[in-house]
Structure 1
């Protein structure tokens, strides 16, 4: 299954961290990932550099026409936490670019994007090999934590309908150790 899941996770992580500790905000409609990243950077929304420990949990995964073996495998990951750590350098924190916001830049565009006052709300459309996918993100953040729910709907393998929902949470955990996942 080739879905832009990992780039979108990186994207949502970066977006959720932006603006920590500020009252500034960014809104956008029908803009590329890199254009939104530039708006965040230009607005002075900054990230807290250092290590971020994150937890991701799939709470829903449905795909049309899935064989029983694949359904059984998917059910094993539902509700289970996956943890990972990332290191955000001072330079990345001060001037995030399109690459930092996930590698989905060429395939994805924000339909709407709103971030400020500790809240984020976004809708993105991505063109994947198998068809169009729509992702929504809603969440909240503080200078050292964030929580977000992401939903992805659209075409899965062989163009069949698929729907996923995942929850992400993270906390700033001091300096980078060099043992982070990314």
Structure 2
């Protein structure tokens, strides 16, 4: 599970970085690079200090023994809500790295569907990480603007070796807002 978790968290953050507002971007079976290029001219995040909050709303892993399920619930309780602050530079806005869109971190990702219209996002990404086995499918919906976003992601993992019951589902919510000019201090 730990190998795929960073990839799952990158999906909503990457989608938020691509913009919003009045632009319309649509794609099917698109690579990470294709989506990055198509969203390049969409309304972009404003540079500055951004506060991002990630909430783990639910996790379900059928077939997990009770002791492990209790331990996982305890860990999720500790990490149920995380807030970080980052400085988003003009360079980051102009040239978001492909890693922000899920590339290279886990490899093997494709957007089955990507729709961004009038600040509303609806995207489905499927990843088959090389060497990890299995598949990760993340459906992300929400709203995106140049100074704030709110996204919900439903992620399903299946077929990974060593995963009890062979699958896991997780629901996360990611909200972000620009809180001012960069302070030079990263928090979180």
Fold-level similarity (TM above 0.5): yes
What's the secondary structure of 2:98's corresponding residue?
A: coil
Q: How many aligned positions are there?
A: 180
Cα offset, 1:119, TM superposition: 0.5
Contact 2:18 2:36 survives alignment (8 Å): no
Correspondence 1:33-112 to 2 at 5 A? 33-41=32-40, 43-76=41-74, 77-78=76-77, 80-103=80-103, 104=105, 106-112=107-113
Question: Quick one: distance in 1 between partners of 2:73 and 2:18?
Answer: 33
Correspondent of 1:171 among 163, 170, 177: 177
Cα offset, 1:181, TM superposition: 5.9
Q: Report what 2:157 is aligned to.
A: 154
Cα offset, 1:131, TM superposition: 0.3
TM-score using structure 1 length: 0.86
Question: Quick one: distance in 1 between partners of 2:43 and 2:184?
Answer: 25
**Contiguous gaps of at least 5 residues in structure 2:** none
Structure 1 ranges of 4+ moved more than 4 A: none
Contact 2:18 2:45 survives alignment (8 Å): yes
**Contiguous gaps of at least 5 residues in structure 1:** none
Cα offset, 1:157, TM superposition: 5.0
Q: Report what 2:27 is aligned to.
A: 28
Structure 1 residues 10 and 162: alpha-carbon distance in aligned structure 2, compared to 1, 3 A threshold: closer
Contact 1:92 1:100 survives alignment (8 Å): no
Cα offset, 1:100, TM superposition: 3.3
What RMSD over aligned residues (CA atoms) do the two structures have, in Å?
Answer: 2.3
Contact 1:29 1:110 survives alignment (8 Å): yes
Q: Report what 1:131 is aligned to.
A: 134
